[in-house]
Amino acid sequence: MTSGEKIQNQVFFDEVRVPKTNVLGKIDDGWTVAKYLLEFERGGGAASPALQVMAEEIATVAADQPAPGGGRLLDDPAFARKLADARIRSEVLEILEYRVLAAVAGGGHPGAASSMLKVVATELSQALTELAMEAAGPRGRVYQPHATWPGGPVSDFEPPPDGYVSGEAWQAVAPLRNFNDRAGSIYAGSNEIQRNILAKAALGL
Amino acid sequence: MDFNLSKEQELLRDGLGRFLSTRYDLEKSRAAAKTGAGWQPDIWRGFADELGVLGAALPEDVGGISGGPVEVMVIAEALGYALGVEPHVDTVVVAGGLLRRAGGPVATALLEKVVAGTAIVALAAAESGSGEQWQDVLTVADRDGDEWVLRGSKIVAMSAPLATHLLVTARTSGGLSLFLVETDSAPTGIKSHSYRTVDDRRAADLVFDGLRLPADAQLTNPYGYTLRDRQQLLVGQRHHRIRRAGRGPDDRKLRKRLVDHCSQSTWMSGGCDSPDHLIGRAAHELRRGLVERGRAERAGQ
């Protein structure tokens, strides 16, 4: 990851032998199977509660941080507008998730709506991690993965012997989350692919 | 507007570009940034001795070549292309610019060292309560006899771990001042926590706990110039007023005096090339002084 942590992997298969009985669905029909599976990866959960908590936490810390033009960061018009925008989108996401979960609970499957959830949730998460980094101020520039060790030890990094952390834990983790979250619009099917699916399946283009 | 580079600027760009493409090893610089010292002193030496780029935008009287923003742009572009980790912006542009504006013998001597590549200077301005609002300073400097005593803390001072000298903002009884701290002499009363930043530079959180500095470590006072300058200036202003009233000392004498003052002046260095210029500024200062005095008198009533 750009944060230096090893959280995601590229996997290479070089003549790996697998029993024929392990084939899911029909041979040469893998994309249909994969898409069905991915509907649940993308649409089987609810991201909005965690994102709303994140927005709430940002609002809490921003009330104690100085704004670029003086006063509290939370009252800074540019920051407040971005935070309000993220919070509104998180409410919209919540409603979308209820719809999809209701469909699944009724025996259906998420369908193309899961692509919508994936796009909205990951872009919202990227906006929020960016806001958290903004709230962290100058501390958001400090590289200190040892403050939280989210992904285990980091290569090319020696934690300070006294374990010193500049600022608070949320400030230390803000840049790492921000960098790692850039992957959100790529993994689980890139957001471009999701938009293509939506264009075809939902809009009939 | 002509956006083409001048011949000299092209030479600067090509010379630095050639130096970096042959000498700036990406693997070595990445290693220096990640696990090493955070910079490459031999490269910095090359910048100073072989290329002379450290003085590109600094005045000739400190060994520079008196370039400006375009020279800085040309250098920054070349360093950016090479993914340079050396503290060019922090030491030469930020600290160099502050030292140039501060003027005075201490700042000038340090600028000469910056140009020669023997001093790395870093600015320590941000505090945990200030964010990017650098004028919100809680660090204080108290006068104790012939010395200043600094108390307070700074955060994320870029390039501070590499620095031989720090420029520290602190509040005195009169207002905000800039202080020079020599870190290479390992003074007591300063504690530093160094780290890497997310863009692979070095920075530090600093705590000043009774750090003692000599009187001349105060590079600027809240008014931007020293008391001696102000007295000299007032003399100049009086002469100017008298001259304008047509009954003062003759112009030649005044001019000589002003030129002498100009050459010794600390706060006007770089901006004062003719007596007329100085007289103009003196008149401006006088007007400002009168406005301030009027304001103070009104406030006192």
Any domain includes B2:
no
Burial pattern A27-58, b for ≥16 Cβ within 10 A else e, equals eeeeeeeebeebbeebbbbbbbeebbebbeeb
- 3 state SS of A150: coil
pLDDT of residue A109: 81
Please answer whether residues A114 and A173 qualify as being in contact, where contact means their C-beta atoms are separated by less than 8 angstroms. Answer: no
Tens-place pLDDT, residues A134-191 = 999 999 999 998 887 655 678 888 888 898 999 999 999 999 999 989 999 998 889 9
Tens-place pLDDT, residues A55-89 = 999 999 999 999 988 889 999 999 999 999 999 99
> Nearest CA of chain A to the CA of B136: how many Å?
9
pLDDT of residue B210: 95
Tens-place pLDDT, residues A99-119 = 988 988 898 888 888 899 999
Query: Residue A44 is inside which H or E element, if any?
Result: none
Query: Residue A119 is inside which H or E element, if any?
Result: helix A113-136
* Residue at which a domain ends, from B119, B147, B180: B119
pLDDT of residue A70: 83
pLDDT of residue B239: 56
Please tell me which residue of chain B has the smallest CA distance to A179.
B198
Cβ separation of A142 and B197 shorter than 8 Å? Answer: yes
* Residue at which a domain ends, from B119, B152, B185: B119
Any domain includes B155:
yes
Interface of B with A (CB under 8 A): 34-35, 126, 128-133, 136, 155-156, 193, 195-200, 203, 205
Please answer whether residues B136 and B125 qualify as being in contact, where contact means their C-beta atoms are separated by less than 8 angstroms. Answer: no
- Cα separation, B154 vs B169, in Å, equals 9
Any domain includes A21:
no
- 3 state SS of B100: helix
pTM of the model: 0.78
| CATH classification of the domain holding B149 | 2.40.110.10
Cβ separation of B128 and A67 shorter than 8 Å? Answer: no
Domain that holds residue B214: 123-220
Question: Taking CB atoms and an 8 Å cutoff, what residues of chain A touch B207?
Answer: none
Any domain includes B86:
yes
Tens-place pLDDT, residues B253-279 = 655 665 565 555 544 444 444 555 555
Cβ separation of B126 and A175 shorter than 8 Å? Answer: no
Any domain includes A23:
no
Domains identified in chain B, total number = 3
| CATH classification of the domain holding A46 | 1.20.140.10
Any domain includes B130:
yes
Least confident of A20-24, A193-197, B26-30, B129-133: B129-133
- Cα separation, B241 vs B232, in Å, equals 14
Domain that holds residue A119: 30-150+165-202
Tens-place pLDDT, residues B96-119 = 999 998 888 999 999 999 999 999
- 3 state SS of B218: strand
- Minimal Cβ distance to B195: which of A140, A142, A156: A142
pLDDT of residue A153: 73
Any domain includes A132:
yes
Any domain includes A155:
no
Any domain includes A93:
yes
Tens-place pLDDT, residues B177-235 = 999 999 988 789 999 999 999 999 999 999 999 999 999 999 986 654 444 555 555 66
Please compute the mean of the pLDDT values over residues A48-57 and round it to a whole number.
Answer: 96
Please compute the mean of the pLDDT values over residues B80-92 and round it to a whole number.
Answer: 96
> Nearest CA of chain B to the CA of A147: how many Å?
13
Any domain includes A183:
yes
Structure tokens at B115: 């140009």
Please answer whether residues B209 and B201 qualify as being in contact, where contact means their C-beta atoms are separated by less than 8 angstroms. Answer: no
- Cα separation, A123 vs A48, in Å, equals 12
Query: Are B207 and B249 contained in the same domain?
Result: no
Any domain includes A86:
yes
Q: What is the DSSP letter of A67?
A: P
Domains identified in chain A, total number = 1
* Residue at which a domain ends, from B119, B137, B157: B119
- Minimal Cβ distance to B156: which of A69, A139, A158: A139
pLDDT band of A10, cuts 50, 70, 90? confident
Please compute the mean of the pLDDT values over residues B30-53 and round it to a whole number.
Answer: 95
| CATH classification of the domain holding B89 | 1.10.540.10
Q: What is the DSSP letter of A142?
A: B
pLDDT of residue B246: 42
Residue B149 has pLDDT above 50, yes or no: yes
Query: Are B195 and B236 contained in the same domain?
Result: no
Question: Taking CB atoms and an 8 Å cutoff, what residues of chain B touch A166?
Answer: 155-156, 193, 195, 205
> Nearest CA of chain B to the CA of A139: how many Å?
7
Please tell me which residue of chain B has the smallest CA distance to A140.
B198
Least confident of A3-17, B36-50, B185-199: A3-17
What number is the ipTM of this complex?
Answer: 0.82
Any domain includes A55:
yes
- Minimal Cβ distance to A138: which of B132, B136, B196: B132
Cβ separation of B156 and A144 shorter than 8 Å? Answer: no
* For chain A, percent of residues with pLDDT exceeding 90: 63
Please answer whether residues B57 and B92 qualify as being in contact, where contact means their C-beta atoms are separated by less than 8 angstroms. Answer: yes
Cβ separation of B197 and A138 shorter than 8 Å? Answer: no
Query: Are B108 and B141 contained in the same domain?
Result: no
* For chain B, percent of residues with pLDDT exceeding 70: 73
pLDDT of residue B227: 47
